[in-house]
Structure 1
Amino acid sequence: MSRLARRPRADHRHTAEEARRRPGTWVTVGEYRNTTSAQDLASRISSGYPIGNPVYGTPYWPAGDFESRTSRTEDGTLLEARYTGGGVASSDTNDAAWADAVASLSGGTV
């Protein structure tokens, strides 16, 4: 029985720096065999929660400055992150979506 090839470890510090240099651009964090692992890391990136040992903190700081997404691949799950600089890029979209949702619940008035 052959073993699966070892994948390179994600360099989160490098990924966060690269994303900051290219705001709004999706940067590859890594590809994970386990979807749950990729989704857990995606959540940690977006929330600014420490990765690994809490003593070391997270390079994806401050909380809310990064977005993350996962997508299935042939070999697992791809994890990507992008720097939004405090969520400016996504907050406008979220504000509009919330305003529409509230308007529809309240009969069209906000």
Structure 2
Amino acid sequence: MSRPKKRRQICHAEVAARLRNQPDVWGEVGEYPGLKSAEDVVRRIRTARQAPMYQPAGSFEARIAGTELYTLVFARYVGHTAAVQVLDERPATPPATHIPSGRDCDRVLGQIARGEVQAGPEGARRIAARHQEAYGNAVWGPGPDPDAAWADALAGLSTGGAE
């Protein structure tokens, strides 16, 4: 069994200097084995937290692009005029040079954004109503009659529960 290929170390000081020399141009920061580590790098680039080479906070934008094997991080320098700290913003669409992702989560998030997937209680009610309309009682059967259920419970009590 062979050992996994060691990931190339990324020199963020060099990346930041290269991006500063080409303002507003997206450049590749590096490859990351997992989405979580890539999201952490994006957050550090945007906020300059624990990454002083990207200071001041907000002077760089960063994006994620997924592939089947790893996650790419892209960034660009937008200058000191855009130095606004962004903490909880979800990564926007990757730059046009990204490699299309084949991950299921990207596909599902796109479907939700386009309204093709309904989620939450309201979505469940709409789906159930659509199925009831299409299939009638063939799927779930008629709803329980609350009066009959109450009568059965009382009858069970009067007979001592024995049938």
Q: TM-score under structure 2 normalisation?
A: 0.48
Between the aligned partners of 1:19 and 1:34, the Cα distance in structure 2 is 24
The DSSP-based 3-state class of the residue aligned with 1:50 is: coil
1:62 and 2:56 are equivalent in the alignment:
yes
Q: 2:76 aligns with which of 82, 88, 100?
A: 82
Equivalent residue number for residue 9 of structure 1? 9
Amino acid at match of 1:80: F
The DSSP-based 3-state class of the residue aligned with 1:44 is: helix
Equivalent pairs, count: 82
1:50 and 2:44 are equivalent in the alignment:
no
Task: State the Cα RMSD in Å.
Answer: 1.3
Taking the TM superposition and a 5 Å limit, the aligned residue runs for 1:20-39 are: 20-39=20-39
Greater shift after overlay, 37-46 or 2-11?
2-11
More strand by share: 1
1:74 deviates by 2.6
Between the aligned partners of 1:14 and 1:77, the Cα distance in structure 2 is 20
The DSSP-based 3-state class of the residue aligned with 1:16 is: helix
1:62 deviates by 0.6
Q: TM-score under structure 1 normalisation?
A: 0.70
RCO comparison, higher one (Cα < 8 Å, 6+): 1
1:2 deviates by 1.9
1:28 deviates by 1.1
Alignment gaps of 5+ in structure 1: 52-57, 89-110
Amino acid at match of 2:75: A
The DSSP-based 3-state class of the residue aligned with 1:64 is: coil
What per-residue deviation string (whole Å, max 9, x for no partner) do you get for residues 20-59 of structure 1? Answer: 00001111111000110000110010011114xxxxxx20
Larger radius of gyration: 2
Alignment gaps of 5+ in structure 2: 84-163
